[in-house]
Chains A and B, each alone.
Chain A
Amino acid sequence: MPSLVISDVTMIYERPRTHERFRAIDRVSMTIDESSFVTIIGPSGCGKSTLLAIVDGLIAPSAGTIEVEGRPITAPGPDRGMVFQEASLLPWYTTLENCAYGLESQGVPKKEAQQRVLPLIEMVGLKGFEHNYPAELSIGMQQRANVARALAVDPEILLMDEPFAALDAQTRELMQSELLRIWDQTRKTVLFITHQLDEAIYLSDRVLVMSGRPGRIIDDVPIPLERPRPLDIKRTPIFAELEQRLWDDLRREIEEEVAPAGAREQW
Protein backbone atom coordinates (compact mmCIF):
# COMPACT_ATOMS: atom_id res chain seq x y z
CA MET A 1 0.00 0.00 0.00
CA PRO A 2 1.47 3.33 -0.99
CA SER A 3 2.41 5.59 1.86
CA LEU A 4 1.03 8.79 0.46
CA VAL A 5 -1.50 9.52 -2.24
CA ILE A 6 -2.13 13.06 -3.35
CA SER A 7 -5.15 13.38 -5.64
CA ASP A 8 -5.97 16.42 -7.73
CA VAL A 9 -4.99 18.87 -5.04
CA THR A 10 -5.73 22.45 -5.95
CA MET A 11 -5.08 25.54 -3.89
CA ILE A 12 -6.70 28.86 -4.57
CA TYR A 13 -5.65 31.87 -2.55
CA GLU A 14 -7.77 34.90 -1.96
CA ARG A 15 -6.12 38.22 -1.19
CA PRO A 16 -7.56 39.47 2.09
CA ARG A 17 -8.74 42.89 1.09
CA THR A 18 -9.00 42.93 -2.66
CA HIS A 19 -10.56 39.45 -2.76
CA GLU A 20 -8.68 38.70 -5.96
CA ARG A 21 -8.22 34.98 -6.31
CA PHE A 22 -5.06 33.22 -7.42
CA ARG A 23 -4.46 29.59 -8.20
CA ALA A 24 -1.30 28.51 -6.42
CA ILE A 25 -1.47 24.77 -7.09
CA ASP A 26 -3.33 23.21 -10.00
CA ARG A 27 -4.55 19.61 -9.80
CA VAL A 28 -1.38 18.07 -8.44
CA SER A 29 -1.41 14.32 -8.02
CA MET A 30 1.23 11.86 -6.98
CA THR A 31 1.58 8.44 -5.44
CA ILE A 32 4.48 7.83 -3.13
CA ASP A 33 5.58 4.40 -2.09
CA GLU A 34 6.55 3.39 1.39
CA SER A 35 10.17 4.04 2.37
CA SER A 36 10.89 5.99 -0.77
CA PHE A 37 12.66 9.32 -0.80
CA VAL A 38 10.88 11.71 -3.13
CA THR A 39 11.93 15.29 -3.84
CA ILE A 40 9.92 18.07 -5.40
CA ILE A 41 11.81 20.82 -7.16
CA GLY A 42 10.49 23.88 -8.91
CA PRO A 43 11.01 27.62 -9.35
CA SER A 44 10.49 29.94 -6.38
CA GLY A 45 6.90 30.57 -5.45
CA CYS A 46 5.53 27.62 -7.43
CA GLY A 47 3.64 26.24 -4.48
CA LYS A 48 6.01 23.52 -3.23
CA SER A 49 5.92 24.73 0.37
CA THR A 50 2.16 25.16 0.16
CA LEU A 51 1.80 21.59 -1.02
CA LEU A 52 3.89 20.37 1.88
CA ALA A 53 1.83 22.37 4.34
CA ILE A 54 -1.31 20.82 2.88
CA VAL A 55 0.13 17.33 3.31
CA ASP A 56 1.05 18.19 6.90
CA GLY A 57 -2.51 19.30 7.52
CA LEU A 58 -1.68 22.90 8.34
CA ILE A 59 -3.71 24.20 5.41
CA ALA A 60 -6.86 22.80 3.85
CA PRO A 61 -6.74 22.51 0.05
CA SER A 62 -9.40 24.17 -2.08
CA ALA A 63 -9.94 20.84 -3.82
CA GLY A 64 -8.49 17.35 -3.85
CA THR A 65 -7.58 14.86 -1.16
CA ILE A 66 -4.56 13.56 0.68
CA GLU A 67 -4.43 10.00 1.90
CA VAL A 68 -1.81 8.59 4.21
CA GLU A 69 -1.78 4.79 4.28
CA GLY A 70 -5.29 4.85 2.87
CA ARG A 71 -6.66 7.26 5.46
CA PRO A 72 -7.73 10.73 4.35
CA ILE A 73 -6.24 13.52 6.38
CA THR A 74 -7.51 16.97 7.29
CA ALA A 75 -5.34 18.12 10.17
CA PRO A 76 -1.82 17.73 11.56
CA GLY A 77 -1.22 14.34 13.10
CA PRO A 78 1.35 11.97 14.54
CA ASP A 79 1.65 10.14 11.23
CA ARG A 80 3.45 13.07 9.61
CA GLY A 81 6.50 14.93 10.88
CA MET A 82 7.66 18.24 9.47
CA VAL A 83 11.17 19.60 9.37
CA PHE A 84 11.02 23.33 8.75
CA GLN A 85 13.63 25.70 7.43
CA GLU A 86 15.92 27.44 9.85
CA ALA A 87 14.81 29.17 13.02
CA SER A 88 12.22 26.72 14.14
CA LEU A 89 13.82 25.28 17.25
CA LEU A 90 12.19 27.01 20.18
CA PRO A 91 14.92 29.26 21.63
CA TRP A 92 13.75 28.87 25.24
CA TYR A 93 14.24 25.11 25.28
CA THR A 94 17.41 23.08 25.32
CA THR A 95 18.18 20.60 22.57
CA LEU A 96 16.75 17.82 24.70
CA GLU A 97 13.56 19.71 25.47
CA ASN A 98 13.13 20.72 21.85
CA CYS A 99 13.53 17.20 20.56
CA ALA A 100 11.08 15.87 23.13
CA TYR A 101 8.55 18.54 22.19
CA GLY A 102 6.62 16.46 19.67
CA LEU A 103 6.31 13.51 22.01
CA GLU A 104 5.14 15.75 24.84
CA SER A 105 2.52 17.22 22.53
CA GLN A 106 1.17 13.70 22.21
CA GLY A 107 0.82 13.42 25.95
CA VAL A 108 3.99 11.53 26.79
CA PRO A 109 5.25 12.65 30.21
CA LYS A 110 8.31 14.87 30.12
CA LYS A 111 10.82 12.47 31.69
CA GLU A 112 9.81 9.59 29.48
CA ALA A 113 9.79 11.73 26.36
CA GLN A 114 13.30 12.95 27.08
CA GLN A 115 14.52 9.41 27.71
CA ARG A 116 13.12 8.30 24.40
CA VAL A 117 14.77 11.02 22.36
CA LEU A 118 18.25 10.61 23.82
CA PRO A 119 19.26 7.86 21.37
CA LEU A 120 17.84 9.93 18.51
CA ILE A 121 19.91 12.91 19.54
CA GLU A 122 22.95 10.68 19.47
CA MET A 123 21.98 9.29 16.11
CA VAL A 124 21.85 12.73 14.50
CA GLY A 125 25.27 13.47 15.89
CA LEU A 126 24.43 15.86 18.72
CA LYS A 127 25.61 13.82 21.67
CA GLY A 128 26.97 16.10 24.34
CA PHE A 129 24.84 19.04 23.31
CA GLU A 130 21.60 17.96 24.93
CA HIS A 131 21.59 20.83 27.41
CA ASN A 132 22.63 23.62 25.10
CA TYR A 133 20.23 26.25 23.86
CA PRO A 134 19.69 26.70 20.09
CA ALA A 135 21.56 29.99 20.15
CA GLU A 136 24.66 28.03 21.10
CA LEU A 137 24.36 25.65 18.17
CA SER A 138 25.42 26.29 14.58
CA ILE A 139 22.69 26.19 11.95
CA GLY A 140 23.79 22.75 10.84
CA MET A 141 23.45 21.47 14.38
CA GLN A 142 20.07 23.12 14.76
CA GLN A 143 18.83 21.33 11.68
CA ARG A 144 20.05 18.02 13.04
CA ALA A 145 18.00 18.71 16.14
CA ASN A 146 15.09 19.58 13.89
CA VAL A 147 15.35 16.18 12.25
CA ALA A 148 15.60 14.43 15.59
CA ARG A 149 12.49 16.25 16.81
CA ALA A 150 10.53 15.16 13.74
CA LEU A 151 11.73 11.57 13.99
CA ALA A 152 10.91 11.37 17.68
CA VAL A 153 7.18 11.07 17.05
CA ASP A 154 7.88 8.16 14.73
CA PRO A 155 5.84 9.48 11.82
CA GLU A 156 5.07 7.41 8.76
CA ILE A 157 6.00 10.30 6.54
CA LEU A 158 8.74 12.86 6.98
CA LEU A 159 8.15 16.22 5.33
CA MET A 160 11.18 18.41 4.79
CA ASP A 161 10.81 21.96 3.53
CA GLU A 162 14.17 23.11 2.20
CA PRO A 163 15.84 22.20 5.48
CA PHE A 164 19.33 23.02 4.23
CA ALA A 165 18.51 26.34 2.57
CA ALA A 166 20.17 28.39 5.29
CA LEU A 167 23.39 26.41 5.35
CA ASP A 168 26.60 27.33 3.59
CA ALA A 169 27.62 25.13 0.66
CA GLN A 170 30.11 22.97 2.54
CA THR A 171 27.92 22.29 5.55
CA ARG A 172 25.11 21.61 3.14
CA GLU A 173 27.01 18.82 1.39
CA LEU A 174 27.88 17.32 4.73
CA MET A 175 24.29 17.46 5.93
CA GLN A 176 23.04 15.78 2.75
CA SER A 177 25.32 12.86 3.39
CA GLU A 178 24.33 12.83 7.06
CA LEU A 179 20.66 12.86 6.19
CA LEU A 180 21.06 9.78 4.03
CA ARG A 181 22.92 8.05 6.83
CA ILE A 182 20.13 8.84 9.28
CA TRP A 183 17.42 7.98 6.78
CA ASP A 184 19.06 4.68 6.09
CA GLN A 185 18.58 3.68 9.72
CA THR A 186 14.88 4.44 9.82
CA ARG A 187 13.79 4.22 6.17
CA LYS A 188 10.85 6.57 6.56
CA THR A 189 8.90 7.80 3.58
CA VAL A 190 10.27 11.24 2.81
CA LEU A 191 8.82 14.11 0.84
CA PHE A 192 11.59 16.67 0.39
CA ILE A 193 11.58 20.12 -1.14
CA THR A 194 14.60 21.93 -2.47
CA HIS A 195 15.83 24.36 -5.06
CA GLN A 196 19.12 22.62 -5.62
CA LEU A 197 19.19 20.10 -8.43
CA ASP A 198 22.21 18.19 -7.19
CA GLU A 199 20.65 17.91 -3.75
CA ALA A 200 17.44 16.55 -5.22
CA ILE A 201 19.21 13.91 -7.32
CA TYR A 202 21.70 12.92 -4.64
CA LEU A 203 19.09 12.29 -1.97
CA SER A 204 16.12 10.84 -3.83
CA ASP A 205 14.68 7.77 -5.46
CA ARG A 206 12.48 10.01 -7.54
CA VAL A 207 12.35 13.70 -8.41
CA LEU A 208 9.13 15.48 -9.33
CA VAL A 209 9.39 18.77 -11.16
CA MET A 210 6.79 21.41 -10.50
CA SER A 211 5.97 24.24 -12.88
CA GLY A 212 5.78 27.90 -12.01
CA ARG A 213 2.48 29.31 -10.82
CA PRO A 214 0.02 27.73 -10.96
CA GLY A 215 2.03 24.72 -9.81
CA ARG A 216 1.61 21.49 -11.78
CA ILE A 217 3.77 18.39 -11.98
CA ILE A 218 5.54 18.54 -15.33
CA ASP A 219 8.08 15.74 -14.97
CA ASP A 220 8.63 12.62 -12.93
CA VAL A 221 12.27 11.49 -12.97
CA PRO A 222 13.29 8.18 -11.41
CA ILE A 223 16.82 8.19 -10.03
CA PRO A 224 18.47 4.87 -10.78
CA LEU A 225 21.54 5.42 -8.61
CA GLU A 226 22.43 2.68 -6.15
CA ARG A 227 22.53 3.16 -2.42
CA PRO A 228 24.50 3.80 -0.29
CA ARG A 229 25.58 6.91 -2.20
CA PRO A 230 28.91 8.56 -1.46
CA LEU A 231 29.11 12.31 -2.13
CA ASP A 232 31.46 11.56 -5.07
CA ILE A 233 28.51 10.24 -6.98
CA LYS A 234 27.75 13.87 -7.81
CA ARG A 235 30.75 13.88 -10.15
CA THR A 236 29.70 10.91 -12.26
CA PRO A 237 28.42 11.18 -15.86
CA ILE A 238 25.02 9.67 -15.10
CA PHE A 239 24.55 12.25 -12.37
CA ALA A 240 25.33 15.01 -14.85
CA GLU A 241 22.79 13.59 -17.29
CA LEU A 242 20.08 13.61 -14.66
CA GLU A 243 20.99 17.14 -13.73
CA GLN A 244 20.77 18.19 -17.35
CA ARG A 245 17.30 16.70 -17.69
CA LEU A 246 16.04 18.47 -14.61
CA TRP A 247 17.67 21.71 -15.64
CA ASP A 248 16.04 21.58 -19.07
CA ASP A 249 12.67 21.15 -17.36
CA LEU A 250 13.28 23.98 -14.99
CA ARG A 251 14.86 26.38 -17.39
CA ARG A 252 11.68 26.70 -19.36
CA GLU A 253 9.75 27.45 -16.19
CA ILE A 254 12.23 29.96 -14.87
CA GLU A 255 12.49 31.76 -18.19
CA GLU A 256 8.73 32.02 -18.28
CA GLU A 257 8.86 33.83 -14.98
CA VAL A 258 11.69 36.16 -15.93
CA ALA A 259 10.50 36.98 -19.45
CA PRO A 260 7.10 35.63 -20.51
CA ALA A 261 6.90 34.17 -24.06
CA GLY A 262 5.46 37.34 -25.62
CA ALA A 263 8.20 39.66 -24.41
CA ARG A 264 11.07 37.47 -25.59
CA GLU A 265 10.26 37.97 -29.29
CA GLN A 266 11.58 41.48 -29.05
CA TRP A 267 15.12 40.53 -28.01
Chain B
Amino acid sequence: MSLAQSRALGADFVGAAPARSAKQWLRDNERKLVPLGALIVFLAGWQVASSARLINPLFFASPWAVVDAGYQDVKTALFWSDLRVSLTEFGIGYGFSLASGLVVGFAIGWFRRLRYVLRPIVDALNSIPGIALVPLVLIWFGLAFSSKIALIFLVAFPVVVVNMYTATTSINPQYLRVARSFDSSRWRLLRTVVFPAIAPFAFAAARVGVGRGVSGVVVGEYFAANSGLAYRLFQAGESHDTALVLFGALLITVLALGAFRLLNAVERRVLRWRQVQTSLAQE
Protein backbone atom coordinates (compact mmCIF):
# COMPACT_ATOMS: atom_id res chain seq x y z
CA MET B 1 0.00 0.00 0.00
CA SER B 2 1.15 3.59 -0.43
CA LEU B 3 2.89 5.62 2.19
CA ALA B 4 -0.18 7.76 2.64
CA GLN B 5 -2.41 4.79 3.20
CA SER B 6 -0.16 3.07 5.69
CA ARG B 7 0.10 6.32 7.58
CA ALA B 8 -3.63 6.64 7.71
CA LEU B 9 -4.15 3.17 9.17
CA GLY B 10 -2.65 2.21 12.46
CA ALA B 11 -4.24 -1.09 13.29
CA ASP B 12 -1.07 -3.03 12.63
CA PHE B 13 1.24 -0.80 14.65
CA VAL B 14 2.81 -2.83 17.44
CA GLY B 15 5.06 -0.47 19.34
CA ALA B 16 7.94 1.99 19.32
CA ALA B 17 11.45 0.85 18.37
CA PRO B 18 13.24 -0.93 21.24
CA ALA B 19 16.57 0.42 22.56
CA ARG B 20 19.42 -0.67 20.29
CA SER B 21 22.45 -2.65 21.37
CA ALA B 22 25.91 -1.78 20.08
CA LYS B 23 25.72 -4.79 17.77
CA GLN B 24 22.45 -3.50 16.31
CA TRP B 25 23.99 -0.06 15.80
CA LEU B 26 26.83 -1.64 13.83
CA ARG B 27 24.38 -3.50 11.62
CA ASP B 28 22.22 -0.44 11.05
CA ASN B 29 25.15 1.68 9.92
CA GLU B 30 26.76 -1.02 7.81
CA ARG B 31 26.62 1.05 4.66
CA LYS B 32 28.98 3.67 6.04
CA LEU B 33 31.06 1.51 8.38
CA VAL B 34 32.04 -1.31 6.06
CA PRO B 35 33.70 0.90 3.43
CA LEU B 36 35.37 2.89 6.19
CA GLY B 37 36.72 -0.27 7.71
CA ALA B 38 37.91 -1.53 4.36
CA LEU B 39 39.66 1.77 3.71
CA ILE B 40 41.50 1.64 7.05
CA VAL B 41 42.60 -1.94 6.43
CA PHE B 42 43.77 -1.02 2.95
CA LEU B 43 45.77 2.00 4.11
CA ALA B 44 47.34 0.07 6.95
CA GLY B 45 48.32 -2.76 4.64
CA TRP B 46 49.75 -0.34 2.13
CA GLN B 47 51.79 1.44 4.77
CA VAL B 48 53.17 -1.80 6.16
CA ALA B 49 54.07 -3.07 2.71
CA SER B 50 55.85 0.18 1.90
CA SER B 51 57.76 0.28 5.17
CA ALA B 52 58.86 -3.30 4.69
CA ARG B 53 60.22 -2.27 1.28
CA LEU B 54 57.88 -4.68 -0.46
CA ILE B 55 56.78 -1.89 -2.77
CA ASN B 56 59.21 0.12 -4.85
CA PRO B 57 58.84 3.69 -3.56
CA LEU B 58 59.29 4.99 -7.07
CA PHE B 59 56.14 3.21 -8.27
CA PHE B 60 54.03 3.73 -5.23
CA ALA B 61 54.84 5.95 -2.29
CA SER B 62 53.61 4.99 1.16
CA PRO B 63 50.53 6.71 2.58
CA TRP B 64 52.69 8.56 5.04
CA ALA B 65 54.99 9.82 2.29
CA VAL B 66 51.99 11.09 0.37
CA VAL B 67 50.67 12.94 3.40
CA ASP B 68 54.10 14.39 4.09
CA ALA B 69 54.60 15.51 0.49
CA GLY B 70 51.20 17.09 0.56
CA TYR B 71 51.88 18.87 3.81
CA GLN B 72 55.14 20.31 2.48
CA ASP B 73 53.39 21.41 -0.70
CA VAL B 74 50.51 23.09 1.00
CA LYS B 75 52.93 25.21 3.00
CA THR B 76 54.23 26.90 -0.14
CA ALA B 77 52.65 30.06 -1.50
CA LEU B 78 52.94 28.71 -5.04
CA PHE B 79 50.53 25.91 -4.18
CA TRP B 80 47.81 28.35 -3.24
CA SER B 81 48.27 30.51 -6.29
CA ASP B 82 48.14 27.40 -8.48
CA LEU B 83 45.00 26.27 -6.67
CA ARG B 84 43.44 29.65 -7.27
CA VAL B 85 44.33 29.51 -10.95
CA SER B 86 42.79 26.07 -11.47
CA LEU B 87 39.68 26.90 -9.51
CA THR B 88 39.21 30.09 -11.48
CA GLU B 89 39.69 28.29 -14.77
CA PHE B 90 37.19 25.66 -13.77
CA GLY B 91 34.76 28.14 -12.27
CA ILE B 92 34.59 30.35 -15.32
CA GLY B 93 34.81 27.59 -17.92
CA TYR B 94 32.32 25.29 -16.23
CA GLY B 95 29.98 28.06 -15.19
CA PHE B 96 29.81 29.39 -18.70
CA SER B 97 29.44 25.90 -20.22
CA LEU B 98 26.64 24.98 -17.85
CA ALA B 99 24.68 28.19 -18.25
CA SER B 100 24.91 28.29 -22.03
CA GLY B 101 24.57 24.52 -22.33
CA LEU B 102 21.29 24.46 -20.41
CA VAL B 103 19.82 27.25 -22.53
CA VAL B 104 21.03 25.94 -25.89
CA GLY B 105 20.12 22.34 -25.01
CA PHE B 106 16.59 23.36 -24.10
CA ALA B 107 16.26 25.48 -27.26
CA ILE B 108 17.42 22.63 -29.46
CA GLY B 109 14.90 20.33 -27.81
CA TRP B 110 12.05 22.80 -28.00
CA PHE B 111 12.43 24.39 -31.43
CA ARG B 112 12.18 21.84 -34.17
CA ARG B 113 14.00 23.69 -36.92
CA LEU B 114 16.79 24.74 -34.60
CA ARG B 115 17.21 21.10 -33.76
CA TYR B 116 17.53 20.11 -37.39
CA VAL B 117 20.37 22.60 -37.80
CA LEU B 118 22.28 22.37 -34.52
CA ARG B 119 21.88 18.81 -33.37
CA PRO B 120 24.35 17.21 -35.80
CA ILE B 121 26.96 19.81 -34.88
CA VAL B 122 26.53 19.26 -31.16
CA ASP B 123 26.52 15.49 -31.53
CA ALA B 124 29.79 15.72 -33.46
CA LEU B 125 31.39 17.98 -30.84
CA ASN B 126 30.28 15.57 -28.17
CA SER B 127 32.12 12.72 -29.83
CA ILE B 128 35.50 14.40 -30.10
CA PRO B 129 37.92 13.67 -27.25
CA GLY B 130 39.23 16.84 -25.63
CA ILE B 131 42.80 16.14 -26.52
CA ALA B 132 42.05 16.23 -30.23
CA LEU B 133 40.91 19.80 -29.84
CA VAL B 134 44.10 21.00 -28.14
CA PRO B 135 46.12 21.87 -31.25
CA LEU B 136 43.26 24.03 -32.54
CA VAL B 137 42.86 25.76 -29.20
CA LEU B 138 46.59 26.42 -29.05
CA ILE B 139 46.48 28.06 -32.45
CA TRP B 140 43.49 30.20 -31.47
CA PHE B 141 44.43 31.18 -27.93
CA GLY B 142 48.06 30.27 -27.38
CA LEU B 143 48.98 29.81 -23.73
CA ALA B 144 46.73 32.53 -22.43
CA PHE B 145 44.21 31.97 -19.68
CA SER B 146 41.44 31.93 -22.26
CA SER B 147 42.84 28.77 -23.85
CA LYS B 148 41.88 26.76 -20.79
CA ILE B 149 38.42 28.29 -20.71
CA ALA B 150 37.98 27.47 -24.39
CA LEU B 151 39.02 23.88 -23.85
CA ILE B 152 36.74 23.38 -20.88
CA PHE B 153 33.91 24.87 -22.87
CA LEU B 154 34.53 22.63 -25.87
CA VAL B 155 34.42 19.48 -23.77
CA ALA B 156 31.74 20.37 -21.23
CA PHE B 157 29.26 22.37 -23.29
CA PRO B 158 28.28 19.60 -25.79
CA VAL B 159 27.58 17.06 -23.09
CA VAL B 160 25.29 19.44 -21.22
CA VAL B 161 23.49 20.31 -24.45
CA VAL B 162 22.94 16.67 -25.40
CA ASN B 163 21.54 15.87 -21.97
CA MET B 164 19.17 18.82 -22.11
CA TYR B 165 17.80 18.30 -25.57
CA THR B 166 17.20 14.64 -24.82
CA ALA B 167 15.32 15.66 -21.70
CA THR B 168 13.29 18.32 -23.47
CA THR B 169 12.20 15.97 -26.25
CA SER B 170 11.14 13.24 -23.87
CA ILE B 171 8.75 15.09 -21.58
CA ASN B 172 5.68 13.00 -20.84
CA PRO B 173 3.11 14.34 -23.35
CA GLN B 174 0.33 13.74 -20.85
CA TYR B 175 1.65 16.59 -18.70
CA LEU B 176 1.67 18.91 -21.68
CA ARG B 177 -1.93 17.92 -22.40
CA VAL B 178 -2.93 18.79 -18.88
CA ALA B 179 -1.52 22.29 -19.23
CA ARG B 180 -3.18 22.77 -22.61
CA SER B 181 -6.47 21.43 -21.36
CA PHE B 182 -6.59 24.20 -18.77
CA ASP B 183 -5.84 26.68 -21.53
CA SER B 184 -2.48 27.67 -20.11
CA SER B 185 -0.45 30.29 -21.92
CA ARG B 186 2.80 29.28 -23.61
CA TRP B 187 4.81 30.80 -20.81
CA ARG B 188 2.75 29.05 -18.14
CA LEU B 189 3.27 25.77 -19.96
CA LEU B 190 7.01 26.31 -19.85
CA ARG B 191 7.11 27.45 -16.27
CA THR B 192 4.80 24.84 -14.75
CA VAL B 193 5.44 21.77 -16.88
CA VAL B 194 8.50 21.95 -19.12
CA PHE B 195 11.06 23.43 -16.76
CA PRO B 196 10.15 21.30 -13.73
CA ALA B 197 10.13 18.21 -15.96
CA ILE B 198 13.64 18.82 -17.27
CA ALA B 199 15.08 20.08 -13.98
CA PRO B 200 16.28 16.64 -12.78
CA PHE B 201 18.04 16.20 -16.10
CA ALA B 202 19.65 19.60 -15.74
CA PHE B 203 21.26 18.40 -12.54
CA ALA B 204 22.38 15.18 -14.20
CA ALA B 205 23.87 17.25 -17.00
CA ALA B 206 25.61 19.44 -14.44
CA ARG B 207 27.17 16.39 -12.82
CA VAL B 208 28.41 14.95 -16.09
CA GLY B 209 29.67 18.42 -16.98
CA VAL B 210 31.83 18.47 -13.86
CA GLY B 211 33.67 15.36 -15.00
CA ARG B 212 34.21 16.81 -18.44
CA GLY B 213 35.17 20.17 -17.05
CA VAL B 214 37.82 18.71 -14.77
CA SER B 215 39.16 16.76 -17.71
CA GLY B 216 39.29 19.99 -19.68
CA VAL B 217 41.29 21.70 -16.91
CA VAL B 218 43.78 18.86 -16.70
CA VAL B 219 44.29 18.56 -20.44
CA GLY B 220 44.51 22.30 -20.79
CA GLU B 221 47.12 22.62 -18.07
CA TYR B 222 49.13 19.82 -19.59
CA PHE B 223 49.45 21.35 -23.01
CA ALA B 224 48.86 25.02 -22.64
CA ALA B 225 49.84 26.30 -19.23
CA ASN B 226 52.56 27.27 -16.80
CA SER B 227 50.46 27.25 -13.65
CA GLY B 228 47.66 25.36 -12.01
CA LEU B 229 47.13 22.18 -10.01
CA ALA B 230 47.39 19.81 -12.93
CA TYR B 231 50.45 21.63 -14.22
CA ARG B 232 51.94 21.06 -10.79
CA LEU B 233 51.00 17.43 -11.00
CA PHE B 234 52.81 16.96 -14.29
CA GLN B 235 55.89 18.75 -12.99
CA ALA B 236 55.98 16.39 -10.05
CA GLY B 237 55.71 13.53 -12.49
CA GLU B 238 58.65 14.74 -14.49
CA SER B 239 60.82 14.90 -11.39
CA HIS B 240 59.65 11.43 -10.38
CA ASP B 241 58.23 12.67 -7.11
CA THR B 242 55.70 9.85 -6.83
CA ALA B 243 54.42 10.94 -3.44
CA LEU B 244 53.63 14.41 -4.74
CA VAL B 245 52.05 12.95 -7.88
CA LEU B 246 49.74 10.82 -5.77
CA PHE B 247 48.90 13.75 -3.60
CA GLY B 248 48.07 15.90 -6.61
CA ALA B 249 45.87 13.24 -8.14
CA LEU B 250 44.10 12.75 -4.85
CA LEU B 251 43.55 16.46 -4.45
CA ILE B 252 41.98 16.84 -7.88
CA THR B 253 39.75 13.86 -7.21
CA VAL B 254 38.62 15.26 -3.89
CA LEU B 255 37.81 18.62 -5.46
CA ALA B 256 35.77 16.98 -8.22
CA LEU B 257 33.92 14.85 -5.70
CA GLY B 258 33.27 17.98 -3.67
CA ALA B 259 31.64 19.57 -6.68
CA PHE B 260 29.43 16.50 -7.12
CA ARG B 261 28.36 16.54 -3.50
CA LEU B 262 27.57 20.21 -3.73
CA LEU B 263 25.38 19.65 -6.77
CA ASN B 264 23.57 16.80 -5.06
CA ALA B 265 22.91 18.92 -2.01
CA VAL B 266 21.52 21.74 -4.14
CA GLU B 267 19.36 19.28 -6.05
CA ARG B 268 17.95 17.83 -2.85
CA ARG B 269 16.82 21.26 -1.76
CA VAL B 270 15.51 22.47 -5.09
CA LEU B 271 13.77 19.26 -6.18
CA ARG B 272 12.09 18.24 -2.98
CA TRP B 273 9.53 16.18 -4.85
CA ARG B 274 12.19 13.81 -6.11
CA GLN B 275 13.15 12.78 -2.59
CA VAL B 276 9.69 11.39 -2.19
CA GLN B 277 9.94 9.38 -5.38
CA THR B 278 13.34 7.92 -4.70
CA SER B 279 12.71 7.12 -1.06
CA LEU B 280 9.51 5.30 -1.97
CA ALA B 281 11.34 3.34 -4.66
CA GLN B 282 13.63 2.00 -1.97
CA GLU B 283 10.79 0.68 0.17
Contact = CB atoms under 8 A, between A and B. Distances in A.
Interface of A: 56, 58, 75-78, 82, 84, 87-88, 90-93, 101-102, 105-106, 128-129, 132-133, 135-138, 141, 153
Contacts of B64: none
* Most interface-central of B2, B182, B273 (chain A CB within 10 A): B182
Nearest to A82: B181
Contacts of A92: 196-197, 199, 271, 273
B62 to A, nearest CB: 50
* Most interface-central of B184, B188, B273 (chain A CB within 10 A): B273
A56 B3 CA distance: 34
B180 A58 contact: yes
B5 interface: yes
Q: State which size class the interface on B falls in.
A: 20 to 34
Given A90-B192, A135-B280, A138-B5, A84 B174 contact: yes
Given A90-B175, A135-B276, A76 B193 contact: no
B51 interface: no
* Most interface-central of B1, B2, B188 (chain A CB within 10 A): B2
A164 B182 CA distance: 21
B277 A91 contact: yes
A261 to B, nearest CB: 36
Given A90-B175, A91-B273, A105-B188, A138 B181 contact: no
12 contacts: A76-B180, A82-B181, A105-B179, A106-B182, A132-B4, A133-B277, A135-B273, A135-B276, A135-B280, A136-B2, A136-B276, A138-B4
Nearest to B196: A92
Contacts of A132: 4
A141 B182 contact: no
A195 to B, nearest CB: 19
Contacts of A75: 183
Chain B interface mostly: helix
A133 B174 contact: no
Interface string B18-32: 000000000000000
A102 B193 contact: no
A90 B196 contact: yes
A133 B279 CA distance: 12
Q: Report the 3 A-B pairs with minimum CB-CB distance, sorted nearest first.
A: A105-B182, A92-B196, A138-B2
A90 B178 contact: yes
A137 B8 CA distance: 11
A13 B180 CA distance: 21
A88 B174 CA distance: 6
A88 B277 contact: no
Given A58-B180, A88-B174, A90-B175, A133 B276 contact: yes
Given A88-B177, A90-B193, A92-B196, 17 more contacts: A76-B182, A76-B183, A88-B174, A90-B178, A92-B197, A92-B271, A93-B273, A101-B178, A128-B8, A129-B4, A133-B276, A135-B276, A136-B4, A136-B280, A137-B2, A141-B5, A153-B182
A208 to B, nearest CB: 22
A58 B182 CA distance: 10
Contacts of B2: 136-138, 141
A153 to B, nearest CB: 7
Nearest to B280: A135
B172 interface: yes
Nearest to B174: A88
Nearest to B8: A128
A107 to B, nearest CB: 10
Contact of B4 (A58, A76, A137): A137
A149 B188 CA distance: 17
A141 B183 contact: no
B183 A138 contact: no
Interface in B190-233: 192-193, 196-197, 199
B279 to A, nearest CB: 9
Nearest to B3: A136
B49 to A, nearest CB: 50
Contacts of B181: 56, 58, 76, 82, 84
A75 B276 CA distance: 36
